Structure 1
């Protein structure tokens, strides 16, 4: 019997598979896709994620693949720059770093495949579980193959099949929303510095930055009201709409570029009250789908892996019985859940700040007029924003790899 079957070869599932294989544990990693080249993959590593990468021994890999540290964050309201914050935010700290996630995953896969006790099964989804005495003891794939397991780990994202098959409920937060994601060619305007622009003009808001692939990436917050046509966004002139919301220097760039059809990212934010069932463990977005605000998904998933490895490796190396494996699963949730709850609260607070500015025009215009000219107001706004970011960047709890 394979000791561990991991479903989902994203950053969470693949790094856990690598750590377990390195420690002599038999692992089968199952991924429904045939490659890592998805339309949308988060690529921002906060200092908390970079720390997890260091614990895993993958810092050199990040240095070898396409990566791009952010130079600064700039906030533009009603076409006026309100304030800017340079990276890194703390003396001697790490800068938020963008990585090519497909290249990162390929590098981790190469590391895992050095171990004969690791097997990767791609292009086949999980169809069902095998149950014995109310415990999951294996999976059935779409091609009817059956794979036995002492433990099934669901790392298959916010729409997790593992979560569904294990009948683990997800409590969804009210702040779930949609984002339109655009990619377009870069221009010399962005060559000198990689700045993450947060732009708000009227009711329209979006973020813009230069990705590791050399393309400008835009995330547009799609505002919908009850009764709105859900497909109305497909008929809009997005080049014109983006340029209208951007300051002149960015609007010129956007008007000159070819704009492909955007990718619709439906954002579900929530938390499973219970991350485990007999024989099953959920990690990453499968257990706690995160908001895209400040790129927490990949970072929290990597920190989940560190803690999960600390608990799982000892019992799996000792060939503990199934009851002993199941006994450590609640401990993993107990250690990780406080940070996830706090980070989601911080993300929610960020969303609320943006909605306040979006919905209350006098405040929005007051900030946009006063902050650029009154240093006291600008500095207070800037410091208030930095203070809110520090825990989102560092993480709330201390995480370290102990096995």
Structure 2
């Protein structure tokens, strides 16, 4: 008897796949997630979520665990000739603001982040299927059938490839992965055990013919991220990474005994790859994360772009699968996320060029890769067909929806806007007393699909903007009555005057 189809099959159980699985599972979507690895990895790889990804993780209910398990980025100490010559603290002046609660990313080993995400997924009764390698993919009008290396099959209504830069899903779909690999920009990487260096610093040794960088891995006593330019042999060819080569590189560039490095794992050679999938959707199959785009490591944008891909796709797949939206909604995933990935690709490439120039001079270092745009908070979808209605002095439809501290009128307790957004629903904010009727009408007409909150709109149910932070963040002037519809992925879908009571229903029927 053939297996019963799952609603969504996710191939790849890294941060992108796990984020998508959680988002679907909390919406009561039947999801299956598989990975070809025989066991969960214990490598650190990506250094952690940026501020926008932390907002996503808050909505998924795991940000407290991530913050507890991780650490703030440490100051960067830069050396020349083995001598410390400069310190840089890129986030020294950063502070949380009412509209953006996370002022910097969080450093956390990727294996630990994945562990947190798997634990959250397990609360929905979903577990990763390990050792299940995809080798075939077929689809018709209603079903995708995945064939595994062991001969088994998994039928699904939809499938998503979150299986990395060498994605089997992308290759089986025949989607071109256009771009370049720069063989001249090469780096060896690994997780190493080191004794001696101060774990309160990110050490960066640069000289005329190479570099070594050590960053402490949070949650470990002596674990570090190790990065260096590759060692070469007499012919100029790169030497494969090993503990011994790492020790030689460390001794050469840091001027410290190589024996301080006692262990090395996740030995890899990194080449700068800049590639973008030509399409994000082929029928019932989608691509997300590194399967759809790979970038230079400058700015730490790869994993974060994947997490945000998943956050965009999850609510759309769930609504279509539940019959609440037309299948055309799924086309907006590529429409919105492919341009973002192209922009991130350009940004990371530009930051890499700037960093390589900076480290040629004394005092230059990896802090050059960090600019305001790498926080992810400015990414939005103003061009999208889902961005409707007008604008305010601060926002346009398609933008990220800001946070703000308010007061719950029913309880008198503090309540942030992000707390009202949290969960699998649309949120309607009504600024001003003139929105009360529209809020009541929308709430009654779309019960279970939308939560409506008046902001200084009167009545016992709603929010008081005592500090004026909500009106400021949303660009709503004194005495102005305005409706703002927030999508389930916390982007602004619609901005209309309070008198336009039909706009919300039309948006939900047509766009969702």
**Is 1:161 the equivalent of 2:168?**
yes
Pick the structure with more helix per residue: 1
How far does residue 174 in structure 1 lie from its aligned partner after superposition?
A: 4.4
Secondary structure of the residue that 1:189 maps to in structure 2? coil
What's the counterpart of residue 291 of structure 2? 286
1:242-292: CA deviations, max 9, x gaps? Answer: 22212xxxx436553325477123343311121111111100010001222
**Residue 195 of structure 2: which of 176, 183, 187 is its match?**
187
Kept in 2, the 8 Å contact 1:3–1:316? The answer is: yes
Alpha carbons 2:355, 2:368 under 8 Å: kept: no
Q: Runs of 5+ in structure 1 lacking a partner?
A: 359-363, 372-380
Instruction: Report what 1:376 is aligned to.
Output: none
Greater relative contact order structure (CA < 8 Å, 6+ sep) = 1
1:4-403 matches, within 5 Å, as 4-64=8-68, 66-79=69-82, 80-87=84-91, 89-92=93-96, 93-116=102-125, 118=126, 120-132=128-140, 137-175=144-182, 177-187=185-195, 189-191=197-199, 193=200, 195-212=201-218, 213-214=220-221, 215-222=223-230, 228-231=236-239, 237-246=245-254, 251-252=255-256, 254-260=258-264, 263-267=267-271, 268-318=273-323, 324-325=326-327, 327-356=328-357, 364=360, 367-368=361-362, 385=368, 389-398=371-380, 399=400, 402-403=487-488
- CA contact 1:75–1:82 (8 Å) conserved in 2: yes
Q: Could you tell which deviates more after superposition, 75-84 or 120-129? A: 75-84
* C-alpha displacement of 1:70: 1.7
1:196-244: per-residue Cα shift (whole Å, max 9, x none)? 233321120232110123312211133889x843546669754233222
* Deviation sequence 1:153-177 (CA, Å, 0-9, x none): 0000111000001111101234464
Secondary structure of 2:54 counterpart: helix
The alignment partner of 1:163 has SS state of helix
Provide the TM-score with structure 2 as the length reference: 0.65
> Normalising by structure 1, what TM-score?
0.81
Deviations 1:107-153 (A, max 9, x none): 3223223335x4532211011012336x8622011121111111110
Please report how far the alpha carbon of residue 396 of structure 1 lies from its aligned counterpart in structure 2 after TM superposition.
3.7
Task: Work out whether residues 136 and 278 of structure 1, in 8 Å CA contact, stay in contact via their aligned partners in 2.
Answer: no
Compare CA radii of gyration and give the structure with the larger one.
2
- SS of the counterpart of 2:286? strand
CA distance in 1, matches of 2:243, 2:7: 51
User: Are the equivalent residues in 2 in contact too, given 1:180–1:220 (CA < 8 A)?
Assistant: yes
Residues 300-309 or 42-51, more deviating: 42-51
Distance 2:32 2:284 in 1: 15
Q: Kindly indicate whether the alpha-carbon contact (under 8 Å) linking 1:44 and 1:99 is maintained by their aligned counterparts in 2.
A: yes
Output the aligned Cα RMSD: 3.1
Deviations 1:38-83 (A, max 9, x none): 445323222222222122221122145x322223233444545244
SS in 1 for 2:317: helix
Give the aligned partner of residue 434 of structure 2: none
- Unpaired stretches in structure 2, ≥5 consecutive residues: 97-101, 381-399, 402-420, 422-486, 489-512
Change (3 A) 1:394 1:73: farther
